[in-house]
Amino acid sequence: MDAEKDAARGADDEALKARLEKLSGALESQRQQAEAQKAQDEKSAGPTGETGKALSLGFRVLSEFVAGVLAGGFIGWLLDKWFSTSPLFLLVFGALGTAAGFMNVYRIASRPTFIGSEKSGADKP
Amino acid sequence: MAASGNAIDPIHQFEIQRIIPLKIFGVDASFTNSSLFMVIILAAISILMLYGTSARSVVPGRLQSAAEMAYEFVASTVRSTAGEHGMKFFPFVFTLFMFVLFSNVIGLIPYTFTVTSQIAVTFTLAALVILTVILYGFYKNGMHFLNLFVPSGVSPILLPFLVLIEVISFVSRPISLSIRLFANMLAGHITLKVFAGFVVMLIGAGAWAPLATLPVAAIVLLTAFELLVAVLQAYVFAILTCVYLNDAIHPGH
């Protein structure tokens, strides 16, 4: 009788365990799904959407280049005004400014991706 | 932004009008439509943040969750870009981000004035950022901050040129920061206005009137696009501020 009971309980336990496993498995897969969904949402949501990202990168490259030339030209114009050597410094600094513009663009382009990698150097002392 | 009356002038919307003329020591300090919208922006931000954080419930309401999202978004941007030390500047970055975001978005509502479409405003913001970077950089690192302009591993012959280029590149930062925001806003609003002008012209063109639906559809798309640009530019402004601040906190790379 005892043995019978034990066997029954054992079978019950087995069934219970199987059910538990199934449930926890379902729970686990659900959680994984939710996490994947969340990651995907984070990827596509917000202003970092694909088109917007490419767009702002393009505009950033343009404005960085123009700003480099403008800054060089401005410094040159100012120096010319101070030393009345027009147009010597304007030409020299205009050229340097163009180089600076290219450097700005190069700096953006040398990063593997746009926003995610802006943190380069963040952990340096 | 819609074509107002019979005059189709895409630039008219950017005109500064004096509401309360005022002169202080010979300086024109009138209260203009630009000032009015700055006040509106500040009021909107204050309402969102003060009212949104007043409830402090565990399950946030709409305003509270908007306020929390804004905080978390900017905080994670600052942390990932300028590191944990950058959180010192969180109030500054958050203020800039919210101001730019609200002025961009409020500017999209027809008949409003876009504060950030004025280069005077955007350049002031950019100059504020760069001055903070320079002052904090020298305060924190002393003369070591100037190492920012000296690239490492360059032959001594090229070094003077590269330092000059680096200096110009640094000077170009506030310019690019301000021009990008201002140009985006200006271009977007002019585009919308020009398309709105097409609608008016086509309706007045007799048999061609049914074609007026095309620019209307374009305006709908462009408005959605402008909303994206408005949010994106606020984000870019904030993240570049963080990148520049990062140079002041950790120079020498």
SS (H, E, C) chain A: CHHHHHHHHHHHHHHHHHHHHHHHHHHHHHHHHHHHHHHHHHHHCHHHCHHHHHHHHHHHHHHHHHHHHHHHHHHHHHHHHHHCCCCHHHHHHHHHHHHHHHHHHHHHHCCCCCCCCCCCCCCCC
Q: Quick check: B173 contacting A, CB < 8 Å?
A: yes
CA nearest A70 in B: which residue?
B172
Are residues A85 and A106 part of one domain?
yes
As a whole-number percent, the residues of chain A with pLDDT over 90 amount to: 29
Residue B153 has pLDDT above 90, yes or no: no
Same domain, A67 and A112: yes
Give every CB contact of residue B197 below 8 A, 6+ residues apart in sequence: B3, B8, B10
Q: Please indicate, yes or no, if residue A37 is contained in any of the structural domains.
A: yes
What is the pTM for the complete model shown? 0.77
Tell me the two tokens of residue B198.
């097409």
- Cα–Cα distance, A66 to A73 (Å, whole number): 11
The verdict on residue A124 lying in a domain is no
Average pLDDT, chain B: 87
Q: Is A96's CB within 8 Å of B172's CB?
A: no
- The span from the CA of B240 to the CA of B238, in Å, is 6
- Does residue B117 fall inside a structural domain? yes
Percent of chain B surpassing pLDDT 90: 46
- pLDDT of res. A109: 85
User: Would you place residue A90 in the very low, low, confident or very high pLDDT band (cuts 50, 70, 90)?
Assistant: very high
CB B93 within 8 A of CB B81: no
Q: Give chain A's end-to-end CA distance (angstroms, integer).
A: 75
Query: Which among B203, B158, B183 has a CA at the least distance from the CA of A60?
Result: B183
Residue A105, in any domain of the structure: yes
Q: What per-residue confidence (pLDDT) applies to B152?
A: 80
Residue A121 maps to a domain: no
pLDDT of residue B178: 93
Q: Per residue in B210-240, pLDDT tens?
A: 888 898 999 999 999 999 999 999 999 999 9
Residue of chain A nearest B243, judged by CA positions: A118
Stronger pLDDT, B238 or A54, i.e. the higher one:
B238
**Cβ contact, residue pair A71, B169, below 8 Å:** yes
Whether residues A57 and A35 share a domain: the answer is no
Q: What is the pLDDT of residues B50-61, one digit of tens each?
A: 988 887 777 788
d(C-alpha B238, C-alpha B253), whole Å: 22
Of residues A34 and B131, more confidently modeled = B131
Question: Is residue A69 included in any domain, yes or no?
Answer: yes
Q: Which of B61, B29, B186 is nearest to B114 (CA)?
A: B186
Q: How many CB atoms lie within 10 A of CB B9?
A: 12
Domain of residue A103 covers 52-116
CB contact under 8 A, A119 and B183: no
Q: Do residues A54 and B228 touch, judged by C-beta distance below 8 A? A: no
What pLDDT sits at residue A121? Answer: 40
Q: Return the residue of A nearest to B241 by Cα.
A: A118
Q: Tell me the β-bridge partners of B18.
A: B32
Show Cβ contacts of residue B163 under 8 Å, excluding neighbours closer than 6 positions. B149, B150, B151
Place of tokens 């959407």: A49
Contact between A121 and B81 using a beta-carbon 8 Å cutoff: no
Q: Which of B7-16, B96-105, B147-156 has the lowest mean pLDDT?
A: B7-16
Same domain, A21 and A77: no
How close, in Å, is residue A26 to chain B by CA atoms? Answer: 27
- Considering the domain architecture, whether residues A108 and A57 belong to the same structural domain is answered as yes
B6 falls within a domain: no
A55 contacts on B by Cβ (under 8 Å) = 229, 232
In the predicted model, is pLDDT for residue A54 greater than 50?
Answer: yes
Provide the pLDDT confidence category of residue A116 given band limits of 50, 70 and 90: very low
Residues A39 and A85 in one domain: no
**Nearest-CA distance A48 → chain B (Å):** 8
Clarify whether residues A25 and A58 are in a common domain: no
| B19–chain A nearest CA distance, Å | 34
Which residues in chain A have Cβ-Cβ distances shorter than 8 Å to B246? 121-122
Q: Is residue B186 part of a domain?
A: yes
Judged by CB atoms closer than 8 Å, whether chains meet at A93 and B252 is answered as no
Say which range, A94-98, B100-104, B145-149, has the weakest mean pLDDT. B145-149
Residue B3: inside a domain? no
| Cis preceding linkage at A87, omega within 30 | yes
> How far apart are the C-alpha atoms of A120 and A108, rounded to whole Å?
12
pLDDT tens-digit readout, B125-144: 999 999 999 999 999 888 88
Chains A, B: CB contacts under 8 A, how many?
96
A56 in the same domain as A38 = no
Q: Is the pLDDT of residue A40 over 70?
A: no
Range of the domain at B237: 12-249
The verdict on a CB contact (< 8 Å) between A46 and B73 is: yes
User: Which residues, at least 6 apart from A68, have a Cβ–Cβ distance to it below 8 Å?
Assistant: A97, A98, A99, A100, A101, A102, A103, A104, B168, B169, B172, B176
A108: chain B residues, CB-CB within 8 Å: none
Q: Please check whether residue B232 is in contact with residue A56, taking contact to mean a CB–CB distance below 8 angstroms.
A: yes
Domain count, chain A: 2
Residue at B42 is within a domain: yes
In a domain, B7, yes or no: no
Report yes or no on A89 lying in a domain: yes
Interatomic CA distance for residues A55 and A61, integer angstroms? 10
pLDDT band of B2, cuts 50, 70, 90 = very low
Number of domains within chain B? 1
Q: Distance (Å, rounded) from C-alpha B250 to C-alpha B253?
A: 8
In a domain, A33, yes or no: yes
In a domain, B5, yes or no: no
Do A56 and A108 share a domain, yes or no? Answer: yes
Q: Distance between CA atoms of B202 and B210, rounded to whole angstroms?
A: 8
Closest Cβ opposite residue B172 in set A70, A122, A123: A70
Least confident of A113-117, B234-238, B239-243: A113-117
Q: Verify that A61 and A109 share a domain, yes or no.
A: yes
| Structure confidence at residue B249 as a pLDDT band (50, 70, 90) | confident
Name the one residue in this structure whose structure tokens are 């123009």: A66
Pick from B81, B176, B232: which is nearest to A52 by CB?
A: B232
Would you say residue B210 lies in a domain? yes
- How large is the average pLDDT for residues B86-114? 92
Residue A41 or B223, more confident: B223
Q: Are residues A64 and A29 in the same domain?
A: no
Write down the mean pLDDT value for chain A. 76
> Is residue A16 over pLDDT 90?
no
- Rounded to whole angstroms, the Cα distance separating A66 from A100 reads 10
Selecting from A47, A104, A118 the residue whose C-beta is nearest the C-beta of B81 gives A118
Which residue in chain A has the smallest CA separation from B232?
A47
Q: ipTM score here?
A: 0.76
